[in-house]
Amino acid sequence: MPYEFDQGKMYRMPTHFGPSLGPRQGPRGRVYENVDSPARLSLSVSFLTDAEALSQLLPPRFELDGDPLVNVAVSYITGIEWLAGRGYNTLGVTCPAVFHGKNGDTAGNYLMVLWENLADPIITGREELGYPKVYSEIDPPRYVDDRVTCSAHWLGCQFFEMILDQGSPIDGDGLRAIAENQRGVLTYKYMPRTQEWYQPDAEYVTFTPPIDAAKYLREAWVAEGSVSFRESTWEELPTLCNVVNALSALPIREWRSSDVRKTIGGTDYRVQQILE
């Protein structure tokens, strides 16, 4: 007898083994609190680029929101409940943008790409959230005195490096300012339709409302940093060279803010929305 879907439960392929397990649904429908975990170390560097070049990376009905700033952040996440205490690393690239929707404008940080070094969050994040997640190896941070180096590569081809000099701690007022300046995340979900390869099966904008960062931010430091994406050939990065080379081609006009942050806790992203 064929199986039936349980109402009120989330599914992903393969569906015939029952409701899926992931960050928004655990065993027996468990919802994760994410209060005392996970722990996240995030290092970020921003730079000013050319507005016209950056605008060409935005989807329809998007435009830049203010200066053409690119923020590159590497995060090391540990103690994740839905992974039974394991962790993974991320490398994300965002820019401030506004989406002109049918119900008004929505401003936030547009997530152009998010590399992760584990398949499970990539699959759940692409299918459920609409995040543009792809795979790469992301090395642990390498410390020499106050300098930290982060790098990412794909099957031996290093395509990214961040070098950051950590400075003085940020005090209570500074921490509050960081928390108050949190922005939501805009993403563009696109899935091609099977057989009709040039047509979308899903195509819409998604939005993650800003989190209450004051609940999670524990420590932060000012820093000075730089990032580089290495132009790569198709032979080196057969599925990623278009992404890496587009980022590599963005001119760096001026280095802007850099910082290091430590947080505890977070969200399961059940607040994710579709914008029309």
Domain-embedded: residue 24 = no
From residue 224, how far is each of 42, 44, 203, 216, 271 by CA, in Å?
Answer: 14, 10, 38, 23, 34
* Mean pLDDT rounded to a whole number for the chain: 96
Is 14 inside any structural domain? no
- The answer to whether the predicted template modeling score (pTM) of the entire model surpasses 0.75 is yes
pLDDT value at residue 68: 98
In a domain, 248, yes or no: yes
Domain count of the fold of the chain: 1
With 0-12 CB in 10 A as exposed, 13-18 as middle and 19+ as buried, what is 138?
buried
174 is in which domain, residue-wise?
Answer: 39-263+271-275
In a domain, 18, yes or no: no
pLDDT given at position 118? 98
State residue 173's pLDDT score.
87
Alpha-carbon distances of 223 from 69, 228, 255, rounded to whole Å? 17, 17, 11
User: Could you tell me if residue 134 is inside a domain?
Assistant: yes
Report if residue 9 sits inside a domain: no
In a domain, 104, yes or no: yes
Domain of residue 172, CATH code: 2.40.400.10
Asked if the structure places residue 20 within a domain, the reply is: no
Contacts of residue 82, defined as CB under 8 A and 6 or more positions apart, other chains included, come to: 21, 22, 23, 26, 32, 268
pLDDT, mean of each 10-residue run, the chain (276 residues)? 93 96 95 94 98 98 98 98 98 98 97 98 98 98 95 98 95 88 96 97 97 89 97 98 98 97 95 97
